[in-house]
């Protein structure tokens, strides 16, 4: 399943994600909402990626191939 | 290609050798080869630990294959040690993924129209099934990531296929360790979502 993202869109998402990671987990959602400024598709995209981070923070790709 | 245990040259020396090799100096090539082989062997050992039981590649063969491919890149202008290892990581990826694809095709009698997915089993006890990674699917996802964000894709190559640490990766890419950490986290998120889908 791949989303078709434009480069520009990806940069937006990437920026928001990297800043969100600097926030405490409990403050992340609020930050994301603010940063997405009502752009619901954007917020959903960011949220689904953060979910991928939170759901398995452990060893995914952490051990080399 | 036999490799006596030679101590690794210090970084400035490697850069000199790379430039000389790039200019076609065959002596430089001979000195670089043990360095390349030792480093690649180390990476190959890391890589093969992940294959679990019944893997068909021997460390030496993997290293030699990766080295042959590297040698074929002779015309590339390599300006630094870090660039050398970036290319080595790329070669490691290709060797491992090609191997995975070939094994999948062989299982189907060589007539595969599409590639089946092959799992790399974790050898350490206690690792959850979430840690199993499908090399072929990962490779496909990495190609898509590279179209979006080449820097992240290369970072994943160095970290995952070459087993480089965050400081080593930061050095190779000319980034701060903090940036590498964040880039890595986002890359993993994206790949994780792609592989789950």
Return the higher-pLDDT residue of B135 and B152. Answer: B152
Query: Phi, psi (5° rounding) for residue B171?
Result: -65, -45
A22: which chain B residues are within 8 Å (Cβ-Cβ)? 182
Look at residue B78 in the predicted model and tell me its pLDDT: 44
Cα gap B62→B59, rounded to integer Å: 5
Tell me: the pLDDT tens digits for B72-98? 554 444 445 566 667 667 766 776 677
Which residue of B144, B161, B197 is in closest CB contact with A65? Answer: B161
- Select from B42, B193, B197 the residue whose CB has the most chain A CBs within 10 Å, as the one to mutate to test that interface: B193
Q: Are B67 and B35 in contact (CB under 8 A)?
A: no
Sign of CA dihedral B8, B13, B19, B21: negative
Taking all residues of chain A, what is their mean pLDDT, rounded to a whole number? 86
pLDDT of residue B7: 47
User: How many angstroms separate the CA of residue A7 from the nearest CA in chain B?
Assistant: 6
Of A42-46, B8-12, B109-113, B122-126, the range with the highest mean pLDDT is A42-46
Contact B152, A7 (CB under 8 A): no
pLDDT value, residue B161: 74
Q: pLDDT averaged over chain B?
A: 63
B3-26 mean pLDDT = 48
Which pLDDT does position B144 carry in this prediction? 96
pLDDT at B125: 29
Tell me what pLDDT residue B173 has.
82
Tally A–B CB contacts below 8 A: 88
* Burial classification of residue B91, based on how many CB atoms lie within 10 Å of its CB (0-12 exposed, 13-18 middle, 19 or more buried): buried
Q: Is A19 on the interface with B (CB under 8 A)?
A: no
Give the residue among B86, B95, B80 at the shortest CA–CA distance from B19. Answer: B80
Q: Which residue of A has its CA nearest to B181?
A: A18
pLDDT digits over B55-76, tens only? 444 444 555 555 555 555 544 4
Between chains, do A65 and B133 touch, taking CB under 8 Å as contact?
yes
Nearest to B135 among A18, A49, A65 (CB): A65
Which tens digit of pLDDT belongs to each residue from B117-149? 223 333 222 333 333 467 788 899 999 999 999
What confidence tens digit (pLDDT) does each residue in B161-185 have? Answer: 766 778 878 877 888 999 999 999 9
Predicted confidence at residue B116, as pLDDT, reads: 30
- Residue B196 contacts A where some CB pair is shorter than 8 Å: yes
Question: A-contacting residues of B 103-162, CB under 8 Å?
Answer: 120, 122, 124, 127-128, 130-131, 133, 135, 141, 144, 148-149, 156, 159-162
């Amino acid at each position: 399943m791949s989303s078709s993202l434009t480069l520009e869109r990806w940069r937006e998402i990437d920026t928001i994600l990297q800043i969100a990671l600097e926030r405490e987990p409990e403050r992340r959602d609020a930050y994301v909402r603010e940063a997405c400024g009502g752009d619901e598709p954007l917020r959903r995209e960011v949220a689904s990626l953060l979910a991928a981070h939170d759901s398995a923070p452990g060893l995914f790709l952490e051990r080399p191939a | 290609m036999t490799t006596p245990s030679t101590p690794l040259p210090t970084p400035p020396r490697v850069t000199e050798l790379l430039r000389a090799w790039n200019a076609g100096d065959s002596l430089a090539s001979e000195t670089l080869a043990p360095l390349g082989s030792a480093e690649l062997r180390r990476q190959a050992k890391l890589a093969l630990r992940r294959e679990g039981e019944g893997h068909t590649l021997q460390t030496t063969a993997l290293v030699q294959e990766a080295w042959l491919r590297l040698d074929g890149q002779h015309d590339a202008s390599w300006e630094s040690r870090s660039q050398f290892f970036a290319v080595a990581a790329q070669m490691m990826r290709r060797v491992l993924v090609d191997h995975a694809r070939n094994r999948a095709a062989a299982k189907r009698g060589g007539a595969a129209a599409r590639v089946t997915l092959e799992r790399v089993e974790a050898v350490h006890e206690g690792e959850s099934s979430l840690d199993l990674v499908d090399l072929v699917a990962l490779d496909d996802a990495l190609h898509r990531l590279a179209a979006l964000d080449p820097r992240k894709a290369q970072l994943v190559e160095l970290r995952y296929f070459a087993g480089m640490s965050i400081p080593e990766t930061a050095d190779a890419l000319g980034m701060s360790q903090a940036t590498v950490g964040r880039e890595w986290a986002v890359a993993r998120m994206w790949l994780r979502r792609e592989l789950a889908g």
